[in-house]
Amino acid sequence: MDRILAGVRLDLVSRKMAFPLDAVVESARRNGKNRDIRGRLGDGPGIIAEIKRASPSRGWICKDLDAAETASEYVAGGACAVSVLTESRFFGGSLADLSAASRVSGDVPVLRKDFLLDEYMVAESRANGADLILLIVAVLRRDTGRMVRLASEYGLEPLVEVRNESEMDIAAEAGATLIGINNRDLATLRVDLSTSERLLPKAPRRAIKVVESGISSRDEVRRFRDLGADAFLVGEALVRSGSFAEGVRSLLGVENRRRSGMEG
């Protein structure tokens, strides 16, 4: 995590030198898109389908992944949102990927997934077409509340990510209404699905609850849906699926429902 954040800060310095905050803010204010994830959830589980080329734990997953093409397929498959990893050093992403996905997503909202640190990164998210941004409590700590308020000022919905009870308390205190429970330990990179089992009942009652990391099957979606999850952020399993649209449909159980209808 320290190495990742060090790289994020270095890249951020470079962008600030190239594009001053005033210019980025002006661009953000011109972005009139306001796509709401709540209207996309409906009665069933939502799949936030992620564009993810690489990860620190796996290395390259799909180096040549095309952001616009992948986003289009995710939307066709029924994703309630498209997540775009924009960190470049460890995840192989970019703000260009975010812009490309946003342009082809129609009415489906787009999440910028990165290690956001300050107002500049909030503003550039909006300027590049994001509707939602990831705010990681483990990174921001007590600054989470300020970043939640900044997101609102820019017309962005913050997905506030937690990994334990103390971080859940910080998210609740910050007024988060969209909470992501990350099953991956950011220190060891290990995935433990019991994290969501433990934390789902502790989320604020009216918050939308998103399970992140380690979800790869319809059975897991069904199990955590029964425990109170509203949506699931899925990246690697979809990228490796070979068919992005069908991968989303499989997690939603669409194909199973079609077969049942045909057999009936």
pLDDT > 70? residue 24: yes
Residue 202 DSSP class = G
pLDDT confidence of residue 188: 86
Nearest to 112 by CA among 163, 67, 69, 73: 67
Question: What is this structure's pTM?
Answer: 0.94
3-class DSSP assignment, residue 242: coil
Instruction: Give the CATH number for residue 185.
Output: 3.20.20.70
Number of domains in the chain: 1
Model pLDDT for residues 47-88, shown as the tens digit of each residue? 999 999 999 888 999 999 999 999 999 999 999 999 999 999
Residues labelled as active-site residues: 50, 52, 113, 161, 182, 212-213
What is the per-residue burial (b if ≥16 Cβ within 10 Å, else e) of 169-206?
ebbbebebbbbbbbbbbbeeeeeeeebbeebbeebeee
**Structural domain for 79, as ranges:** 2-263
Phi, psi of 183 (to 5 degrees): -80, -5
Model pLDDT for residues 177-186, shown as the tens digit of each residue? 999 999 998 8
Model pLDDT for residues 129-179, shown as the tens digit of each residue? 999 999 999 999 999 999 999 999 999 999 999 999 999 999 999 999 999
Check: CB of residue 135 under 8 Å from CB of residue 116: yes
In angstroms, the CA 79 to CA 113 distance is 16
- Which residues sit opposite 162 in a β-bridge? 181
